[in-house]
Amino acid sequence: MKTNEIKDMTSAELNEKLGELKQELFNLRFQHAVNQLDNPMRMKAVKKDIARIKTFLRQQESGVQQ
CB 17, CB 56: distance < 8 Å: no
How many domains, the chain?
1
- What range defines the domain where residue 35 resides? 3-62
pLDDT of residue 57: 94
Rounded Cα distance between 11 and 2, Å, is: 16
pLDDT of residue 66: 60
CB 43, CB 32: distance < 8 Å: yes
For the domain that residue 22 is a member of, what is the CATH number? Answer: 1.10.287.310
HSE-CB of 20 using CA atoms within 13 angstroms: 9
pLDDT of residue 63: 85
Q: What is the 3-class SS of 11-56, one letter each residue?
A: HHHHHHHHHHHHHHHHHHHHHHHCCCCCCCHHHHHHHHHHHHHHHH
Ranges of residues in the chain whose predicted pLDDT is under 50: none
